Amino acid sequence: MNLPFAAAGLIAVASLAAPAAFAEPTAKGLVRQQTPATAQETTTAPGQAAAATGQAASAPAPDTYEILGKEGKRIGEASFTASPHGVLIDITVEAGALPPGKRGLHLHEKGDCSDHGEFKKAGSHEGHGEGKHGLLNPNGPEPGDLPNLIVLSDGSAQAALFTNLVKLDQLKDGDGSALIIHAEKDDHISQPIGNAGARVACAAIK
């Protein structure tokens, strides 16, 4: 191969790709070829950022409620955000508030947590149907069914859940509803509450 000719060929290709005004086609030509792409990336990024900002600005604000423990004292909070197809639920429980392990978590039909330690005034599960409780139930689930809440070894918990079984405006109807945490885990098949045990915490949703 004639190496000088080959090198000249490469330089010629670079020169053709570069703007015609350049006297030094190799290094400067390559640098200039990258400049439009860089500028395009720079101008695109603000547009993408603006779009993202617009989406964030239009997101609905969450409704946040206190979670009360058995003594009627605040042990955490639950936030509910309406979505087009259901509800986003964010739960935070303070350290030392609950025993570690899986705890049943349900939406109940009334927004009343005034009977501290029992929370029976919250009524039955939201949309309760005979024999329909449980996410593993072939005849279910009920609209109030949720996954178990996992409490860490220090007694705290954090969860981000989504349910498409109910809408936020349904939870905030005339008598409201309640988020109930149970003493035991929900097996999602036993009736009527999945063997989840007593009600140990409550958040009234209104």
Q: What is the CATH number of the domain that holds 113?
A: 2.60.40.200
43 shares a domain with 28: yes
pTM above 0.85, yes or no: no
- Residue-number span of the structural domain to which 168 is assigned: 63-205
Q: What span, in angstroms and rounded, lies between the C-alpha atoms of 187 and 193? A: 8
CA dihedral 14, 17, 19, 21 (to 10 degrees): 40
Residues 79 and 29 both lie in one domain:
no
- Contact partners, residue 200, CB within 8 Å, separation at least 6: 69, 70, 98, 103, 181, 182, 183
DSSP 8-state symbol, 34: H
Tell me the two tokens of residue 79.
């936030």
Statement to judge: residues 101 and 52 lie in one domain: no
Q: Which of 58, 75, 93 is the last residue of a domain?
A: 58
In this structure, are 87 and 133 located in the same domain? yes
pLDDT tens digit at each of 206 positions of the chain: 444 433 333 333 333 334 443 344 444 443 344 444 444 444 445 555 545 555 556 888 999 999 999 999 999 999 999 999 999 999 999 999 999 999 999 999 999 999 999 999 999 999 998 999 999 999 999 999 999 999 999 999 999 999 999 999 999 999 999 999 999 999 999 999 999 999 999 999 99
